[in-house]
Structure formats: structure tokens, C-alpha cells
Structure 1
Amino acid sequence: MTAFSSSLRGKGRRAVAAAGAVSLGLLVLSACDQPTPRATVTVGQDSVTAEASCYEDGKTIGDLTSKQKAEQAKFEKCMTAKPDQTITVHPGDKVRLGVEPDMAEQGWIAMANGMPVTSLSKQTYASVEGDRVFYNQQSQQMADSATISIMTSKGGKYTGVWNIKLERAAS
């Protein structure tokens, strides 16, 4: 009889330990930040995917035309955030931009160094001539690098910014 009761105690302890481990795992997962939607830039065979520089679960993060200085400053900080990802663009390459369906549903636009390179779109994909990304309209020269900022918009206000650095390959 003791062998039977001791084997029950062992199984009971294992069940309690397993339940505790599952509970702890769920607690750890609930404390993790949910990943932001991602934007992808593809050039030739290479692709990079970036998390948002600024994203607050679809809430407005601001814009440059706001009369509130704090909102302007917040948006400028998002636009100038250092990109985590870099991709090289060779002369004549197309730069393909991809966004997740939830981002496309809101509407999005891409800018290169603060200048629009796409119009507002509700598609999940857009393509831009690589040379256009590097052309600086003010100086009328080609830059060696550019930051593509993909921004989601809702009602004229921006809800997310994804920054990816593009480097121009030597001819």
C-alpha cells in the first residue's frame, strides 16, 4: 500500500509543478511587449524588415503641421530615429516597399529624407526607382544614403513611423 500511495504523491507533485510552470510561462509572456507591425524594403534579391521607430498601437503620434509644439517635436523625433536596418541600392535598381495589411488599411506614405516618394496608398506594396530615393531636390544632387520613412496615417494624423536606411552603391 505504501508503494501505491508514494507513486500517487510523485504524480501529484509533478502535476502541480507542471501547472506552476505553465502559469509562470503565461505570466512571462503577458509581460512581453507585443511586436509592432513591420515594414519591408526589398532591393533585387535582398530584403530588410523593420519594426516601428514609433508606434502606439494605432494611436496618433502627431504630425509636423500641428500647432502644438510637443506634438511636432514627438513626430520629428520619430522621423529622425536612427534606422536599425540598412540595405544597398545599385544604380538602376527598383526599391520595393511592403507593409502589413493592417497598415495598408489605414493608408501609408513613404518619404526619403523628408521628401515624398509615394503617394498615400492603401495597397500593401509600392515600387520606387532607386535613383529617385537618393535625389536631393534642394541641392539637385544624388546623396550617398537616404532614410526611407514609411508612415501610416489615420484622418490626416500619423500613427506609425518605420525607418530604413538605404545606401547607394558605387557605380
Structure 2
Amino acid sequence: MTAALISRAKGRRAAAAIGAVSLGLLTLSACEKPTELATVTVGSTTLTSEAIPGCDGNGEALSQKQIASCVSQEGGKSVEVHAGEKVRIGVDPAVAKAGWYVVAGDPVLRAPSNDTYRTFDADKLFQRTNPQTGQVSYLKEVTLLIGKLAKGQGQGTETMWHFQLKAKD
């Protein structure tokens, strides 16, 4: 009699364990890959954003037409920036591993970065250089574009984020 009770208890535990494992696998299969984020911090204000809609190549390089569309899109989160302030930009580790760049009034980085965090002078982000005369002017508002390189640097841009920076007097 006791052998039958022990056998039933083992069967119930085994069935419960199989059910728990099955439920766990089902739950994991429903999970999506987390969205990569970019963060901009100015003073005590922090903005975090997902990629520009339609500007996430999901592992593939964006076409030139897609990039032009991404650059021309309006909107994005905005923050006011005082002259002389620091603008801090952070990206997910996966973005840093692939390499990323920043464009504001002019390209900001000479080479793609593999850091997860960089700091820039606000004055540099608001400057635009005329390529014909070399004369520098300062913008009142600038779209800060952050681009993730597609696999194998030099393969184009895979994902883009943008933020609006507004000069505050």
C-alpha cells in the first residue's frame, strides 16, 4: 500500500515539474528581443528614445532612401541646452559593440565609437561649418542624430535615433 502512495506522489511531482518547464518555455518563446535605446542627458534632464519609426533595419543596413527619410523626419524628444553645457549620450551595449556615430550641426565624431557613453560640448553640437567657405555659424536648434553601424563597420547604418536640441540663452 505504501509503495502505491509513494509511486503516485512521484508521478504527481514529475507531472508538476514537466508542466512548469513547459509553461516556462512557452513564456520564453513569447518574449521579444528588447528594443535598443539611446539616451541624451543635459544637466538634470534625461531623455530616452527608441529608434525613429521605420529606421530600425533589424540587423540589416538601411538603404540610402531610408536614411534620407529618417534624417528628414520631424519630431523626437527635445531638450533645452545652455551654452557651455555638456551633452551626454548613452547607447545600449549592443549598439556600442557594433559602433555608433553622432551628427548634429556637423559630424561630431571623427570615427565611430564603441563606448556606451560619450560627453560632448554643447557649443560643438550647435555649430555648422560652411563647406565652401569654412565659415562657422551657430544654430538655434539642431537635430541630434545617433546612428548604429550595420554589422562589420563600413557596412552602412542599421538603426537611427534622433533628439531635438534647442539653444537656451
TM-score normalised to structure 2 length:
0.71
User: Could you tell me which residue of structure 2 aligns to residue 161 of structure 1?
Assistant: 160
1:94 CA drift (Å): 0.6
Alignment partners' CA distance in 2, 1:164 and 1:99: 13
Residue aligned with 2:80, SS: strand
CA RMSD, Structure 1 to Structure 2 (Å): 2.1
The structure-2 alpha-carbon separation of the partners of 1:77 and 1:35, relative to structure 1 and needing over 3 Å to count, comes to farther
Cα offset, 1:78, TM superposition: 1.2
Does 2:137 correspond to 1:137?
no
User: Amino acid of the residue matched to residue 117 of structure 1?
Assistant: V
The within-5 A match list for 1:1-171 is: 36-53=35-52, 54-61=55-62, 71-113=63-105, 115-118=106-109, 119-138=111-130, 140-154=136-150, 155=152, 156=154, 157-170=156-169
- Do the aligned partners of residues 42 and 106 (structure 1) sit closer, same or farther apart at CA in structure 2, a change above 3 Å counting? same
Deviations 1:134-171 (A, max 9, x none): 1111162211001110001133111100011100001x
Q: How far apart in 1 are the matches of 2:34 and 2:94? A: 13
Q: CA distance change for structure 1 residues 143 and 33 in 2, over 3 Å: closer, same or farther?
A: farther
SS at match of 2:76: coil
Query: What percentage of aligned pairs have identical amino acids?
Result: 32
Deviates more, 1:158-167 or 1:77-86: 77-86
Structure 1: which 4+ aligned runs deviate by more than 3 Å?
Answer: 32-35
Aligned-partner Cα distance in 2 for 1:140–1:56? 34
- Cα pair 1:92 1:130 within 8 Å, conserved: yes
Using the TM superposition, give the Cα deviation of residue 50 of structure 1 relative to its aligned residue in structure 2, in angstroms.
1.1
Distance in 1 (alpha carbons) for counterparts of 2:36 and 2:75: 15
Shift of 1:36: 2.7
Structure 1 residue 57: Cα displacement: 2.0
Aligned residue for 1:117, secondary structure, equals coil
Matched positions, count: 133
